[in-house]
Structures are given as structure tokens and as C-alpha cells.
Amino acid sequence: MLAEPIILASASPRRRELMERVGLAIEVIAADIDETAGAGEEAVAYASRVAAEKATTVAHRHTGRWVLAADTVVEVDGTPMGKAANPDEARAMLQSLRGRVHRVTTAMVLCRYGEESQEEGEDEHGLAVTTEVLMREFSDAELESYLQASEWRGKAGAYAVQGMAAAFVEEVRGSITNVIGLPLAELVELLSSLAICEPAYHRGVSS
């Protein structure tokens, strides 16, 4: 098993919390990259590219260490939604999601670079998980109250399913942790298949 903690190449407190919740040992080293979507770039392709860039950027600086990066994108009508820059953008995003099903995709990349391998990873694994989310027909008054609380800041699609916006979510079809930012079941399965590490409950450690 892994002697050193996995490096989580993300500043997201939600991803850190999810990994720590199942007892995975991690070290956070955020990657500073440009996350601007390319013209016409599809949601899954965008999330996969950003996750790969985060992972490889950090892995190049910490050779011999396993690095995990992820990126979550909200998609409606085939168009990816990033993070709202202001309340007007957040309002427009949530209005487009109201009363409809949208898709949330998290792409993950796990990689490790050897001391002499700076161009290609000795080990690199990627996957993307998509969950469908149905939002109810919340009122304009509810929306304005939510915007005033500022919880929309820094979140793809301007909401977090584990926060106040849970009152807007009528149904989740698929992984709930994926919507939060990291599909735990798929991550643990990947780590176990590679014999990298195991969550606390595999070791008989209670939380």
C-alpha cells in the first residue's frame, strides 16, 4: 500500500472532506491553471482536460507521488456551466436549471510520474462520472433569497447539492458524491484496483 498520502491537486474543501470521510490519507497541493473552456468544448471533454492539467501540473513537481485531480462541470442543453462571476450570472444559471433535468459530470485523473519521466506519466488513470439532477420549479422569491446568501460563489452551476440549494433539488439520478465534487465509490474502486491505498473501513478503523 501507499507509504505517502495521495496528493490532492485541488483547493476544494468538499473534495478534501469527502476523501477524509472514508479515511483516505491526503496532502493538498492545489494546481494553479487556466480553467477557461475552449470554444465549443463539450462538458465531459472540458472536465477531463482540466482534471488532467491539474494532475500533471502537480505530478511534474512531485515525482514519485500519486496525484489525484478532479473537475466538476454542470451541463444543460449540451453547454457546460462554470462558476458564476456575479449574482446576475448565478441567477441566469439557476433559471436555466429550474424545473429541468441537468447533468453533472466529474472527471478524475490519477497519475504518478517517475524521476526520469517528465513527459509521460508512468501511471495515469482517468474516468468521468455523470449524474442527472432534477430541480423543482422554485419561485423567483426563493431564488433571490438564495442569491442573497452568496452560497452560489465558487460553485459550478451556482449551487451545491449539500447546501441551501438542496431545497431546489427534487431528484438525483446517480452518485450524490459526484454532484458534491468527487464520486467516492468510483474513486475507492480505482484505488483498490491499483492497490494504492484503502479507506479506513477496509482496515477495520472506525470513523
Q: Tell me whether residue 71 is one of the annotated catalytic residues.
A: yes
State the DSSP H helix or E strand holding residue 172, giving kind and residue range, or none if neither: strand 169-173
Query: What are the grid coordinates assigned to 157, written together?
Result: 452551476
Per DSSP, helices labelled H in the chain are 13-21, 43-61, 87-97, 140-148, 176-180, 184-193
d(CA 169, CA 161): 7
Of the candidates 71, 88, 123, 140, the residue annotated as catalytic is 71
Q: Specify the length of the chain in residues.
A: 207
d(CA 172, CA 115): 43
Q: Which is nearest to 169 in space by CA: 81, 116, 91, 101?
A: 101
Point out the residues that are catalytic. 71
